Structure 1
Amino acid sequence: MTTAEAGVAGTDRPLNIALLTYKGNPFCGGQGVYVRHLSRELAALGHRVEVMGAQPYPVLDALGDGVTFTPLPSLDLYREPDPFRTPRRDEYRDWVDRLEYATMRTGGFPEPLTFSLRARRVLAARRADFDVVHDNQTLGYGLLGLPERTGLPLVTTVHHPITVDRRLELAAAPTRARRLSLRRWYAFTRMQKRVARRLPSVITVSGSSRQQIIDDLGVRPDRVRVVPIGADTRVFHPDPAVPVVPGRIVTTSSADVPLKGLIHLVEALAKVRTEHPTAHLVVVGSRPQPGSPVADALDRFGLGEGSGAVKFVKGISDTELGDLLRGAEIAAVPSLYEGFSLPAAEAMATGTPLVATTGGAIPEVAGPDGETCLAVPPGDAGALAAALGRLLADDALRARIGAAGRERVLARFTWRQAAIGTVERYRAALDARS
């Protein structure tokens, strides 16, 4: 029995957890997905979780059943339909709001810093309400010294260092002006590096991310522990009633984020369609901006609107995503780097065969090439095309890879397992403070 399971049985009392997330909407990325599922499973283990978050606010599954939400509102400067807006004078509440607006106006990204300052203020006033504080990759200056000020142990999740995103975006920037803009936007990563080095307990989601945190952020190796995350197997599971669409390939990707490698999948699709004309791609994500590399590639290969070859869908529910994956012949993860890869785990959980790159932590999730996935080097459109074509041509291989992939996820990557491992880190942090 693990420490956390013993806690559920009564050997250790349930914990009161403050879970911080400066950006919590699951449609905005992995951080929101993490908070949604982890909070639910922590509550299912018997703990009380209070999520504190800023806009876009998190979507939580277990509200009122062990999970509560406390908003720590920002100025919401990046909201739709008026991003980079100028707030009205009566919207400013204090100096933190003024700092947030000034940073945005000078091209920076203020949210990690300003959220951490607001969170510190609330936690200092409510220190008696919690046993432990869990920060979800804010890494803001406001969290420094929090254990000393409040007596509360601090555990921090770093999914992967944002310095990786910074490097890849700078490498893909077409102009000097764009590179200057990116350097200013990513200036907050300097703060995150300084904060990370002083953190007593860091959780990350993969061995690859752990090494990146040590190398890029300078965190001591003995302070970083791996607790893998997982797929929501209540939603992502096989369903024979969902018809499989011949030639369908599904990927979850941000079209204009070079890190996600969609441009290489578009090129691969163009190659595959010469032998498999029914092959088509459904991208779960926003359409590329006009003139962007992905938009240009779609036009160059004749895969744009009207071709029927590529479709973009956005804002779908988990249930709709599950059905989309179940109805695909192949799921693809073309990323150049991932700190974990939830899309890989979710696709595998449905029994859909996976083609994935070996970027970052993806092999830790997807498993051995030829057994639980077909693995290709990142950035290699030719290898992607060969793997896609191989699966499209072989029904038996698709069935074998899909079944083995699902078994791998069930054995290693579920949210209950993630919650149990996380509670073990809470207990260790509490022991270290006693």
Structure 2
Amino acid sequence: MNETSSLPSAAPMSRRGTILYEAQNLVVKGGTGIATYARNLAEAAGRLGFNVDGLFGVEHGLAQSDGRLNEILAFDAVDDDKRLTPLEVAWRNVRYPFNALGGVKPVELARSGLIVGPTADTLRSFRRLFAATQLIDVCRAHFSIYGRLAQLRVEERPAIFHATHPVPLALRGCPNIYTIHDLVPIRLPYATMDNKKYFYRLLTTLARTADHIVTVSEYSRRDIIKYLGVDERRVTNTYQAVTIPSDLLARSDDDVAEDLAKLFGLDFGKYFLFFGAIEPKKNVGRLIDAYSASGSKLPLILASSAGWQNRADLKKIRDERFSTFRISDGVVRRERQVRRLEYMPQGQLSSLIRGATAVLFPSIYEGFGLPVIEAMALGTPVMTSNAASLPEVAAEAALIVDPYSVTEMAHAIRTLEADADLRTALVKRGHEQAKRFTPNAYDERLKRLYDSILRPSQKPS
């Protein structure tokens, strides 16, 4: 446990104090599953009556006295293609070991409403925002060199500091909670690009020093207890919340069909869909092989960010086997049976999910598997795998396959395409399963967690 922590008494429900969230992923370009988690977490804490503050890192140096300028600098564009000069790299390497020696001192950003757009909207749940230049890089360098967590220095101590993913940062004088979504870099080291030595050392340190660890499935909870040696009383599974905006749920099939035709040239209910990053654990290569073996004439759409370690998968997506030709209005058009679409706004992705014959998500490891429940909430049948947390999350509401068996996946694809009664049954069961992960259900789990932290005698169930 964190020996420097002092646990304050809980305040009444209407004034429960402040939770400071590390929310770095909310400002990552393109969005991540952890960003969705952090956003839902902050919104839930607000509903529970907490003041919600956010902390994240920015690329640019911040002024100590000009809040409005900092508001601008925090959201300034970063050139992804720009490469640091050797001198800039050397200067960063020289500075990093010393940047956190006196503690990390974030700057509070003004909330004037000056900044508009999606990123600003994403942060609307936070009462106050704090930023530090290159926060994560500085903390990582400090931990790698000195073997201890960097200390966060803030003027007003929150009731709780909650990091939404493993970061080497702590705040004295309040409970420190860390969300560990899964142990993928440890259990599937060949599937990620993480620095395994750093990640292992960080997780074992957090396992020893955190006041509490949060995770998102019973599978991940058992992994954390077993492989990190954490007392089961210090690990709580809250699952995740799945929130689909009401305006997207209320859209008619005709409206969705019109979007699909105009935006993507797709017919409602006439394609299979995978969405997520193209990375080893997502099993996209085997999915494409299974799709090919299934003989399906429906297109396979991959709505995906670039990911990593995916050269072979991208080559399969471009394979000429998946080129077809269609005559339309007397014109011969070339079409792709396997198509990849880049990252897109939530509204467009929701239309893609709504209109799919089925969502195919045969991942070999997930801490939770958010796409499964998102598809169910939107009324789309799901095929997923029997690996890690996915059977737990999907329960009886999905077609479950061995993710390593191309033959089994191909059979499932053929079955989903041919059996309308099965699809109808999966949609019905999926709606019921999705109710387990509504914001209301999540609020109850989160309330028990935070009550147990603020009242140590009360343990989460």
TM value normalised by structure 2: 0.71
Match of 1:430 in 2: 454
Q: Distance in 1 between matches of 2:137 and 2:395?
A: 38
Which letter does structure 2 place at the counterpart of 1:417? A
Q: Distance in 1 between matches of 2:59 and 2:39?
A: 13
Equivalent positions of 1:329-408 (< 5 A) are: 329-368=357-396, 372-408=397-433
Give 1:37 shift. 1.8
Give 1:23 shift. 3.0
Secondary structure at the aligned position of 1:24 is classed as: helix
Residue 202 (structure 1) aligned to one of 210, 213, 219: 213
Q: Distance in 1 between matches of 2:414 and 2:188?
A: 33
**CA shift in 2, pair 1:260/1:203, >3 Å:** same
C-alpha offsets along residues 237-263 of structure 1, whole Å, 9 cap, x if unaligned? 3743323634311111322x1111111
Q: Distance in 2 between matches of 1:18 and 1:290?
A: 35
Residue 227 (structure 2) aligned to one of 198, 216, 230: 216
Q: Distance in 1 between matches of 2:23 and 2:385?
A: 29
Match of 1:175 in 2: none
Residue 228 (structure 1) aligned to one of 239, 245, 264: 239
Equivalent positions of 1:22-421 (< 5 A) are: 22-25=24-27, 27-55=30-58, 80-82=80-82, 88=88, 95-96=95-96, 110=137, 113=140, 121-122=151-152, 124-128=153-157, 130-140=158-168, 142-143=169-170, 146=171, 150-164=172-186, 166-169=188-191, 184=195, 187-234=198-245, 237=249, 239-241=252-254, 242-243=256-257, 245-255=268-278, 257-272=279-294, 274=295, 276-277=296-297, 279-286=298-305, 292-298=311-317, 302-303=321-322, 307-368=335-396, 372-410=397-435, 412-421=436-445
Secondary structure at the aligned position of 2:272 is classed as: strand
**CA shift in 2, pair 1:349/1:56, >3 Å:** farther
Q: Distance in 1 between matches of 2:453 and 2:24?
A: 22
Secondary structure at the aligned position of 1:23 is classed as: helix
Q: Distance in 2 between matches of 1:12 and 1:98?
A: 41
Q: Distance in 1 between matches of 2:209 and 2:79?
A: 32
| 1:248–1:329 contact (8 Å) kept in structure 2 | yes
Q: Distance in 2 between matches of 1:419 and 1:246?
A: 34
Secondary structure at the aligned position of 1:360 is classed as: coil
Match of 1:106 in 2: none
Q: Distance in 2 between matches of 1:33 and 1:47?
A: 19
Which letter does structure 2 place at the counterpart of 1:280? P
Give 1:151 shift. 1.7
Give 1:286 shift. 3.0
Give 1:366 shift. 1.0
Which letter does structure 2 place at the counterpart of 1:365? V
Aligned residues: 379
| Uncovered stretches (5+) of structure 1, i.e. residues with no partner | 1-6, 58-68, 101-108, 171-181
Q: Distance in 2 between matches of 1:223 and 1:71?
A: 40
| 1:22–1:115 contact (8 Å) kept in structure 2 | no
| 1:24–1:54 contact (8 Å) kept in structure 2 | no
| 1:261–1:334 contact (8 Å) kept in structure 2 | yes
Give 1:206 shift. 0.4
**CA shift in 2, pair 1:111/1:169, >3 Å:** farther
C-alpha offsets along residues 147-168 of structure 1, whole Å, 9 cap, x if unaligned? xxx3211122111124346524
| 2:165–2:181 contact (8 Å) kept in structure 1 | yes
Q: Distance in 2 between matches of 1:329 and 1:356?
A: 14
Give 1:98 shift. 7.1
Q: Distance in 2 between matches of 1:364 and 1:291?
A: 27
| Uncovered stretches (5+) of structure 2, i.e. residues with no partner | 1-9, 61-69, 101-135, 258-266, 325-333
Secondary structure at the aligned position of 1:302 is classed as: helix
Which letter does structure 1 place at the counterpart of 2:355? G
Residue 15 (structure 1) aligned to one of 1, 14, 17: 17
Q: Distance in 1 between matches of 2:82 and 2:323?
A: 28
Q: Distance in 2 between matches of 1:209 and 1:71?
A: 39
Root mean square deviation, CA, Å: 3.8
Q: Distance in 2 between matches of 1:315 and 1:291?
A: 16
